Amino acid sequence: MTQLVNEGNAMRADAQRNRARILAAADEVFAAKGAAASTEEVAAKAGVAIGTVFRHFPTKNDLLTALMKELVRELAAEVESLVRQGDPATSLFTFFAHLVERASSRKTVVDLLGVDIRVSEQLQLLREAVGILLDQAQAAGVVRSNVLLDEVMALLAATSQGALHSGWDADLRERTLAIIFTGLRSAQL
Amino acid sequence: MTQLVNEGNAMRADAQRNRARILAAADEVFAAKGAAASTEEVAAKAGVAIGTVFRHFPTKNDLLTALMKELVRELAAEVESLVRQGDPATSLFTFFAHLVERASSRKTVVDLLGVDIRVSEQLQLLREAVGILLDQAQAAGVVRSNVLLDEVMALLAATSQGALHSGWDADLRERTLAIIFTGLRSAQL
Amino acid sequence: MTQLVNEGNAMRADAQRNRARILAAADEVFAAKGAAASTEEVAAKAGVAIGTVFRHFPTKNDLLTALMKELVRELAAEVESLVRQGDPATSLFTFFAHLVERASSRKTVVDLLGVDIRVSEQLQLLREAVGILLDQAQAAGVVRSNVLLDEVMALLAATSQGALHSGWDADLRERTLAIIFTGLRSAQL
Amino acid sequence: MTQLVNEGNAMRADAQRNRARILAAADEVFAAKGAAASTEEVAAKAGVAIGTVFRHFPTKNDLLTALMKELVRELAAEVESLVRQGDPATSLFTFFAHLVERASSRKTVVDLLGVDIRVSEQLQLLREAVGILLDQAQAAGVVRSNVLLDEVMALLAATSQGALHSGWDADLRERTLAIIFTGLRSAQL
DNA sequence: GATGAATGAGTGTTCATTCAT
DNA sequence: GATGAATGAACACTCATTCAT
């Protein structure tokens, strides 16, 4: 039985609390300033000493990766819920829009896709989840059948990055996604 | 009248040559390693001393900005030539594809959008140029008339970033752009 | 009556066991990596928590010192046994050779002389023991009578350190000691 | 033509001065506190910023190695002068005594022989020099002919380390070396 | 008494920027 | 103008030591 959520088996209460605090602080800090922000700042925002951060995440990269895992986990959970209770015809678009909206204010979401972190492994999970949404949408006939998961993931990444780096507002986001969704839906010209 | 960022007006011959060399080196270095690469490395590749780099570009950011300007200028020139001699119906798509292809191998193209550089100003030029291509395409009836320049620019930026950070290969690039182009062309569902 | 450095008098059974484990682990770890190895590593090898190490030895230095005491005690015991049952004419040389051989594989033996530990006090015991061997050897006429204990101790320390730091093999060790032993035996020129 | 002394070909005057200052400071600091002393302290004593130290010696190890080279060079020079103008029968002993005397106050001399620095290469030079002294002494009949260079080097290292770590005073040094010299001179018992 | 999480000063190293040569 | 040495703040990471659990 694979567990998606597990990272604190047998940990003292205070340690768990600190781990959570650090992750939260890291999320905020890296979301605002990107992965280049200093670990020291994360510690400060979490209200712990620098050593504590490194005890929980021996490397800055480990911290970044943990953040990433957490994010992927949340996203996967969201997909799962959409699969279970959402409208198969629109779930893909709903999720797509939501992710991009989220990315527009969180540098983390985006930075993590780049750099030297071996994301692949983590992203695999998300990829599979999105694959289900795509299947559903294609089964419902609202997405062309020759669209591959690769392109959907690529568009997802691209728009997430675009939304962040270029600071799209809600309106622009909507209009831009509309074009992409149209591209996914309609018959090739 | 001294200017912080000289650009070619009234400059000793060797200074001009150095400026050009530095820009070329910076392009290479930053393209390969991203904006995080050290100025020292740029100087080395340019074959000048570090002081010379800082004399021409008082700040690393100034160097990055200059690179950006140069890039925009090239792109604008390309657009202009397309406007003059290209097929109005396909020029937008041609340019779009070309930019993204270029971005996929040049970290610069993309990173520059990220830093703290106020791109807006520089991008204005490019924006106007692309505006012309869009007008042409809409006039030719191959792009829906309710598509705004904003969305086109957003898609341009997003795919450039996506192409680089996620390392799209030629095939994925083509398939992804096909979806976007379809979205631009067809009638909204 | 609480004592800073407990040594076995009135101690819970498990505490005694832990103390012994820690000393054994420390011996191994420091022998292999020198005194610069981390206390944490010692704790790990001993299978106890870091706090336990510091409860038994309030300072890293205290741990090092205890190790030293232990070593001196063992050596003194060895000397005692030689005094009781060995050949008075060769015991000094036997002990000398054995100590150096041992030093060549145990960084501890040597490093401990380096730190800031005031060895003198601990070494007194060993010194007295070696003094007996020297007396015996001089009585047997195999060591010049004007050789003082000071020099013997100095040579002992020097060769121990040399053997370790320079990594003497058995052959080199033997040949080098042969020279020293000759120096101790023969008449001054 | 091999050059023993070369390290500053084409260097700005101030850079040379600083390099020398740093080496001098490093010698003092490491001599007093051992190789574990901080680079920062070296910088402070040299009166330069920390960056300057690292510009000249990109790694702490590089600094240590440079110190070592310098030391070996001096020693080799001393040997060379002894070979040229000294009494072949006593030069080896003179040099031996001098090195140990020096070591007794300089942790550097000794620390450098240990740790992870690849000394071998550097020591080769010194080894060869001492080899000449040994040959001379054996030719003069004052050192047994079956004494090998290996043992002499081993004794040299051992006594240097001993002299330092155990803090021999002049008298003890003399008496201890007397025993070793006797061992080298007389016929094996 | 044992545990192991938290602390925080300290270390080696990098790099944008300044300035004497 | 060009050179390249000097500066020093910043950073990731380590480790002896303390203390709440």
Q: Where among C42, C58, C74 does a domain terminate?
A: C58
Pairs from C68-74 (Cβ < 8 Å, separation ≥ 24) = C68/C112, C68/C117, C68/C119, C68/C122, C69/C122, C70/C23, C70/C27, C71/C108, C71/C109, C71/C112, C72/C122, C72/C123, C72/C125, C72/C126, C73/C125
Q: Give me the tens of pLDDT residue by residue for chain D, a chain 189 residues long.
A: 333 334 445 677 888 899 999 999 999 998 888 888 999 999 999 999 999 999 999 999 999 889 888 888 888 889 989 999 999 899 999 998 988 887 766 665 555 544 333 345 667 778 888 899 999 999 999 999 999 999 998 898 888 877 776 668 889 889 999 999 999 986 544
Distance (Å) from the alpha carbon of A186 to chain B's nearest alpha carbon: 7
* Cα(C148)–Cα(D168) distance, integer angstroms: 14
Q: How confident is the model over C75-115, as pLDDT tens digits?
A: 888 998 999 999 989 999 999 998 888 776 666 555 544 43
Q: How confident is the model over A126-135, as pLDDT tens digits?
A: 888 889 999 9
Both C17 and C28 in one domain: the answer is yes
Q: Across all residues in chain B, what is the average pLDDT?
A: 83
Among A188, A122, A117, smallest CA distance to A151 is for: A188
> CB D183 to CB C179 under 8 A?
yes
* Cα(D127)–Cα(D157) distance, integer angstroms: 11
Interatomic separation, CA of residue B134 and C1' of nucleotide F18, rounded (Å): 68
Q: How confident is the model over C48-72, as pLDDT tens digits?
A: 999 999 999 999 989 988 888 888 8
Both B92 and B122 in one domain: the answer is yes
* Cα(A75)–Cα(A72) distance, integer angstroms: 5
- Please indicate, yes or no, if residue A165 is contained in any of the structural domains: yes
* pLDDT reported for residue C72: 80
**Type of residue found at C18:** N
Both C53 and C81 in one domain: the answer is no
Local structure of residue A114 (DSSP, 8 states): S
* pLDDT reported for residue C160: 80
User: Is residue A110's pLDDT more than 60?
Assistant: no
Q: Where among D58, D80, D95 does a domain terminate?
A: D58
Both A83 and A162 in one domain: the answer is yes
CA C176 to chain CA centroid, nearest Å = 20
> CB D162 to CB C157 under 8 A?
yes
> CB D179 to CB C178 under 8 A?
no
Q: How confident is the model over A154-187, as pLDDT tens digits?
A: 898 888 877 776 678 889 989 999 999 999 986 5
> CB C114 to CB D159 under 8 A?
no
Give the CA angle between residues C118, D114, C110 to the nearest 5°.
35
Give the CA angle between residues C46, C38, C42 to the nearest 5°.
5
Give the CA angle between residues A85, A86, A91 to the nearest 5°.
150
* pLDDT reported for residue D111: 55
Q: Who wins on pLDDT, A166 or B176? A: B176
Token digits for C11? 């101690």
Average pLDDT over residues C108-131: 61
- Please indicate, yes or no, if residue A122 is contained in any of the structural domains: yes
Please state the domain count of chain B. Answer: 2
* Cα(B37)–Cα(A96) distance, integer angstroms: 34
- Cβ proximity of D8 and D19 under 8 Å: yes
* pLDDT reported for residue B70: 85
**Type of residue found at D24:** A
DSSP per residue over C17-64, as a string? HHHHHHHHHHHHHHHHH-TTS-HHHHHHHHTS-HHHHHHHSSSHHHHH
Q: How confident is the model over B128-154, as pLDDT tens digits?
A: 888 999 999 999 999 999 999 999 988
Average pLDDT over residues A36-42: 95
Both D38 and D100 in one domain: the answer is no
Distance (Å) from the alpha carbon of D139 to chain C's nearest alpha carbon: 18
* Cα(C180)–Cα(A85) distance, integer angstroms: 88
- Please indicate, yes or no, if residue A3 is contained in any of the structural domains: no
Q: How confident is the model over A53-106, as pLDDT tens digits?
A: 999 999 999 998 898 888 888 888 899 899 999 998 999 999 999 888 887 666
> Strand F: which positions are within 7 A of a protein CB?
1-21
User: Is residue B188's pLDDT more than 50?
Assistant: no
- Please indicate, yes or no, if residue B102 is contained in any of the structural domains: yes
Q: Where among D18, D35, D58 does a domain terminate?
A: D58
CA B97 to chain CA centroid, nearest Å = 13
* Cα(B73)–Cα(B94) distance, integer angstroms: 18
- Please indicate, yes or no, if residue B7 is contained in any of the structural domains: no
Both C93 and C173 in one domain: the answer is yes
Q: Who wins on pLDDT, D170 or C118? A: D170
Max mean pLDDT range (B118-122, C38-42, C129-133): C38-42
* Cα(C34)–Cα(D53) distance, integer angstroms: 27
Which chain B residues have a beta carbon less than 8 Å from that of A170?
none
Interatomic separation, CA of residue C39 and C1' of nucleotide F17, rounded (Å): 11
Residues of A with CB under 8 A from a CB of B: 34, 36, 113-114, 147-148, 150-151, 154-155, 157-159, 161-163, 165-166, 168, 172, 175-176, 178-189
Q: What CATH number corresponds to the domain at position D97?
A: 1.10.357.10
Q: How confident is the model over C16-29, as pLDDT tens digits?
A: 889 999 999 999 99
Q: Across all residues in chain C, what is the average pLDDT?
A: 82
- Please indicate, yes or no, if residue B22 is contained in any of the structural domains: yes
* pLDDT reported for residue A121: 61
Nearest nucleotide, C1' to the C-alpha of B61? Answer: E16
* pLDDT reported for residue C176: 93
- Please indicate, yes or no, if residue B2 is contained in any of the structural domains: no
HEC profile for A39-100?
A: HHHHHHHHCCCHHHHHHHCCCHHHHHHHHHHHHHHHHHHHHHHHHHHCCCCCHHHHHHHHHH
Token digits for B146? 């309710």
* Cα(A62)–Cα(A44) distance, integer angstroms: 18
Among D177, A107, C149, D166, smallest CA distance to B165 is for: A107
> CB A176 to CB B154 under 8 A?
yes
* pLDDT reported for residue C186: 63
Both B94 and B32 in one domain: the answer is no
Distance (Å) from the alpha carbon of B171 to chain A's nearest alpha carbon: 10
Both C51 and C144 in one domain: the answer is no
Both A170 and A146 in one domain: the answer is yes
Instruction: Tell me how long chain B is.
Output: 189
Which chain B residues have a beta carbon less than 8 Å from that of A147?
179
**Type of residue found at A152:** V
Among D188, D156, D150, smallest CA distance to C181 is for: D188
Token digits for B39? 């100025």
CA C107 to chain CA centroid, nearest Å = 11
- Chain B residue nearest residue A157, CA to CA: B162
Which chain D residues have a beta carbon less than 8 Å from that of C180?
155, 179-180, 183
* pLDDT reported for residue B127: 83
* Cα(B94)–Cα(B91) distance, integer angstroms: 5
Both A49 and A142 in one domain: the answer is no
Nearest nucleotide, C1' to the C-alpha of D50? Answer: F8
Q: Who wins on pLDDT, C45 or D120? A: C45
Q: What CATH number corresponds to the domain at position A49?
A: 1.10.10.60
- Please indicate, yes or no, if residue D167 is contained in any of the structural domains: yes
Maximum CA extent, chain B: 60
DSSP per residue over D117-186, as a string? ---HHHHHHHHHHHHHHHHHHHHTTSS-TT--HHHHHHHHHHHHHHHHHTT--HHHHHHHHHHHHHHHHS
- The size of the A-B interface in CB pairs under 8 A is 107
* pLDDT reported for residue D116: 33
* Cα(C181)–Cα(A159) distance, integer angstroms: 82
Both D30 and D122 in one domain: the answer is no
Q: Band the pLDDT of B10: cuts 50, 70, 90.
A: low
DSSP per residue over C117-141, as a string? --HHHHHHHHHHHHHHHHHHHHHTT
Q: Residue D22 sits in which domain range? A: 9-58
* pLDDT reported for residue C111: 55
Both B93 and B149 in one domain: the answer is yes
Q: How confident is the model over B53-109, as pLDDT tens digits?
A: 999 999 998 998 888 888 888 888 899 899 999 999 999 999 999 888 887 667 655
Which chain D residues have a beta carbon less than 8 Å from that of C187?
186
